[in-house]
Amino acid sequence: DTGVSQDPRHKITKRGQNVTFRCDPISEHNRLYWYRQTLGQGPEFLTYFQNEAQLEKSRLLSDRFSAERPKGSFSTLEIQRTEQGDSAMYLCASSHPGGEQFFGPGTRLTVL
């Protein structure tokens, strides 16, 4: 499969715990994006990378959220001290510059 992959697909955690999600983009894509989607809503932009550089961050990305793409390939999104309001689907997408964004299957986070 040469599409965008995300791991894990589902994560259940207790409030206050830290969680980390991984995204592997399509290999030749140098742009990588993170979005969050809650039930009944469209995805909301969180942040994006061009190669290893994080070029844009949404104000939705509070201090508890951090994203990295250390080698310009895979990316991780970490949420510290999770809150119930963090429960959502976290989507990753990748693209060529100016090209269409291809989305992964998402990681469903449930914070108890």
Tokens 């964004």 correspond to what residue? Answer: 101
Tell me which residues in 20-59 interact with other proteins (CB under 8 A).
31, 33, 35, 39-45, 48, 56, 58
- Rounded to a whole number of angstroms, the minimum distance from the CB of residue 93 to other proteins is 8
Is 101 among the residues that bind other proteins (CB under 8 A)? yes
Is 105 among the residues that bind other proteins (CB under 8 A)? yes
Interacting span for other proteins (CB under 8 A) from 12-20, 62-70, 72-80, 102-110: 102-110
Nearer to other proteins, 66 or 80 (CB): 66
Spatial distance between the Cα atoms of 112 and 110, rounded to a whole number of angstroms: 6
Is 61 among the residues that bind other proteins (CB under 8 A)? no
CA-closest candidate to residue 43, choices 94, 100, 93, 95 = 93
- Rounded to a whole number of angstroms, the minimum distance from the CB of residue 106 to other proteins is 5
Is 74 among the residues that bind other proteins (CB under 8 A)? no
**Sequence-separated (6 or more) residues with CB below 8 Å from residue 98:** none
CB neighbour burial string for 6-34, b if at least 16 within 10 angstroms, e if fewer? beeeebebeeeeebebebbbbeebbbbbb
